[in-house]
Structure 1
Amino acid sequence: MSLIRPFAGLRPTPEYTEAVVAPPYDVLNTEEARQRAAGRPWSFLHISRPEIDLAKGISPYDPAVYAKGAENLQKMIAQGVLKQDAKSLYYLYELVMDDHSQIGLVAAASVVDYDSNRIRKHEFTRPDKEDDRVRQIDTLDAQTGPVLLTYKQDDTIQGLIDQLTSSTPIVDVTADDGIIHRLWLVEEDTHIQTITDTFDAMPALYIADGHHRSASASRVAKMRNGEQAQQDNAHDYFLVVMFPDTRMKILDYNRVIKDLNDLDETSFLQRVEENFQVQLETEPFKPSHPGEFGMYLNDRWYRLDIHSQCIPKDDPVARLDVSLLSDYLIAPILGITDPRRDKRIDFVGGIRGLEGLQARVDSGEMKLAFSLFPTRMSDLMDVADANQVMPPKSTWFEPKLADGLVSHILD
């Protein structure tokens, strides 16, 4: 089995592409999805969030929801909205957000290599979210949500990407959030073989986002294979989009806190100064390098620089900024030791900017906020290579992959 392989994608026909393409299923709640799909009968949200077509209040995990998704998928195929390519291909996918562009490869990646950790992970998964994706994939008989992977940039692959994307894309649409999505087909057998062979020579790929989707694909393969492992069927591969590490855009993933853990402001700042240099700022503060943090408290922004002796050199997890902030401030001073479950902490993606942090505090909902420097791709790879996991909410990737642009059929 190859690490990756081409596949015959299920795609919107040209006249329907703009109507179909939708945000990822997990960035919208049910009501948001219902609003986004209103008046758009071919939106892929009818497949990825099919509860919007059923009675309000139904659980998104109700069996009827998965059945409705499968019904909607088959309807869109029957109506000619979606059509499967006649042969196995690779696809090149460009995302453009503002002045940032990244081009990646759409492929099917090996479940066997995921299970053996050649496709490396850096997060824990939750059983309930895995169960949801297993039911969705198995009922649809398709993988509709791509897993975001990264790899260490390769000159052969990059040269081929540059060559093939110099032509006019077959898809060029701007979604309602302003993100541009472009697609090219990789049809020539020599190009397909070069891509397959070059990736086969790589020691590892890395999951950037989509740990639950990849884990669920592995479970579906085991369900379908039974006692016979390491098959070469469609369900032994899962849908991925892979970008070189040098082109990926990670934004900061910031924190807001409800209270000072029964400390007054003076006592709190004194505790912070034990491990950080604290400096009052006149403007909202966005960190410019690792080890530097912004803090917003009582209408004032502070710059925090962690003392160098607090940063371990040989622990890829403990030296992350999200770990340093947790280990030296949020846990010991604010008493939040389980950020996955503690309701006193929340997380704000960097796409919302410092204004989004400040607004949560100014409204009275939260007491203070922290801005962080974005986790680097090299940090993610170091953690995955060490077979460790990152703290929750360590990375926020933008722009987001679209659902519905290319799906992977399993039958």
Structure 2
Amino acid sequence: MALVKPFKAIRPTKDKVSFVASRSYEEYSKDELKSVLKYNPLSFLHIINPGFKFDKNISGKERFRLVHNRYLEFLEEHIFQKDEQACFYLYQIEKDDFTSLGFFCACSVMDYRTDVIKKHEDTIQHRERIFADYLHAVGFNAEPVLMTYEDDDQVHRIFQNEIQHPPEFDFSTPDRVNHKMWKISDPKTIGQIESLFDQKEALYIADGHHRSASSNLLAKKMEQQSKAHTHNDSYNFFMAYLIPESHIKIHGFNRMIKDLNGLTAKEFLIKLDGYFRIEKQENGFRRPLKKHHFCMYLDGEFYSLHLRRTNYTFTDALSRLDTQILCKTILEPILGITDLRNDQRISYGHGKGSPIAMKECVDEGEFAVGFSMAPITMEEIKAIADAGLVMPPKSTYIEPKLRSGLAIYEF
């Protein structure tokens, strides 16, 4: 059964939250990052980029130590405040016609170990160790793991009742996203939420496999070092943002390949014919809307590829996944790409962006061919996770994308 716990969050003060909250570090271009750091001294980016203060690139353990120092400065300068009571934190994100309402909580590493928390991606051990060392050094977690749960009418009613009250935070960001946060501090309501999630058999990681794996690794290290270890110690939990499955939005990733593995365009098309029925799209790009239907851009033309079921066998949930089909029918056997994480010949662009961007990259000669496909569904993610299988890398681009620095969990 799923264990969720309230926690005493460290949060920005109301008057500073819009300045503190930042997008994920990786989403900023080099110039944009430099501009934010220069003109917004309250941005959470100053904590995770401590070298800016010294006009120096800092890495490794020295960076970890300075991240901790910048965090302490934000507390000392009352940019951050710590709640005195353990709470759940409702967080609503609104953009255009997309709204997500979920809550920050502490989830158990024991649930991660026993597969109550389900995974669908592999993690890289080297990255796990680095981030576990980072967490140990800085003593806090500011980026929650995004997880989903099956839609629940009782949970929904509790949350709808809570959002009738004035929010703790209510602000908009330059990308026209509105952010609201409410504290759930009433012990009775907290107990109801805990009880409802105790009845759930599983939670599913949507985004944050490395963060959750690193938190688990940190807990193992702390257990070994502590003589008075208990399962309630703060390091046995990590911060998560839980949303119902219906509040998640999934986009695909385009695949772009630098060369055709020594083949001409015509030779490549002939080899594809063994697995696909190929149709040239005379009127330009059409986004794939059905499973096992791919769009390909090659040599100035868009093509539709329809999988020939006679030459491909479905054996499990993974084999039915379009990203796996593309891998097993084209990338590996024809283009010779077997290491999807590290091969420099393949690049990924999330399907939320315009397919014209993929076309332009191929037309400019940077890539030889590009592929797009219909987004993976939540049902497919759950089937993969329930079977203990692993998706190919970059199978999903998932929204909502959370702001860093809104709620912080201390170990």
TM-score by length of structure 2 reads: 0.94
In the TM superposition, 1:327-342 aligns within 5 A as 327-342=328-343
Which amino acid in structure 2 is aligned with residue 373 of structure 1? A
Could you tell me how far apart the structure 2 residues matched to 1:309 and 1:229 are?
A: 57
Q: Which moved more, 1:36-45 or 1:252-261?
A: 36-45
- The residue aligned with 1:12 is 12
- Structure 1 residue 127: deviation in Å? 2.2
* 1:70 partnered with 2:91: no
- The residue aligned with 1:185 is 183
Contact 1:97–1:399 (CA<8 Å) still a contact in 2? no
| Distance change >3 Å, CA 153–CA 43, structure 1 → 2 | same
Contact 2:2–2:202 (CA<8 Å) still a contact in 1? no
- The residue aligned with 2:163 is 165
Which residue among 116, 124, 130 is the counterpart of 2:128? 130
Could you tell me how far apart the structure 2 residues matched to 1:84 and 1:310 are?
A: 60
Contact 2:2–2:203 (CA<8 Å) still a contact in 1? no
In the TM superposition, 1:8-407 aligns within 5 A as 8-28=8-28, 33-58=33-58, 60=59, 62-226=60-224, 231-281=231-281, 282-309=283-310, 312-407=313-408
Give the unaligned 5+ runs of structure 2: none
- Structure 1 runs of 4+ aligned residues shifted over 6 Å read none
What SS class does the counterpart of residue 338 from structure 1 fall into?
Answer: coil
Which amino acid in structure 1 is aligned with residue 303 of structure 2? Y
| Distance change >3 Å, CA 133–CA 28, structure 1 → 2 | farther
Cα deviation code 1:71-90 (max 9, x no counterpart): 11100011110001110100
Could you tell me how far apart the structure 1 residues matched to 2:398 and 2:318 are?
A: 19
- Structure 1 residue 197: deviation in Å? 0.7
Could you tell me how far apart the structure 2 residues matched to 1:132 and 1:26 are?
A: 17
| Alignment: residue pair count | 408
Give the unaligned 5+ runs of structure 1: none
What SS class does the counterpart of residue 153 from structure 1 fall into?
Answer: coil
Contact 1:30–1:49 (CA<8 Å) still a contact in 2? no
- Structure 1 residue 120: deviation in Å? 1.2
Cα deviation code 1:87-132 (max 9, x no counterpart): 0100111122321111111100011111111111111111232122
Could you tell me how far apart the structure 2 residues matched to 1:118 and 1:259 are?
A: 42
| Distance change >3 Å, CA 385–CA 205, structure 1 → 2 | same
Contact 1:25–1:49 (CA<8 Å) still a contact in 2? no
Structural RMSD (CA):
1.9
Could you tell me how far apart the structure 2 residues matched to 1:197 and 1:322 are?
A: 38
Contact 1:179–1:399 (CA<8 Å) still a contact in 2? no
What SS class does the counterpart of residue 38 from structure 1 fall into?
Answer: helix
Could you tell me how far apart the structure 1 residues matched to 2:154 and 2:317 are?
A: 30
Could you tell me how far apart the structure 1 residues matched to 2:55 and 2:319 are?
A: 47
Could you tell me how far apart the structure 1 residues matched to 2:107 and 2:48 are?
A: 21
- Structure 1 residue 149: deviation in Å? 0.6
- Structure 1 residue 155: deviation in Å? 1.5
Cα deviation code 1:33-90 (max 9, x no counterpart): 33332211111112233344444444x3x21211111111100011110001110100
Identity of aligned residues (%): 32
Could you tell me how far apart the structure 2 residues matched to 1:167 and 1:283 are?
A: 50
| Distance change >3 Å, CA 229–CA 211, structure 1 → 2 | farther
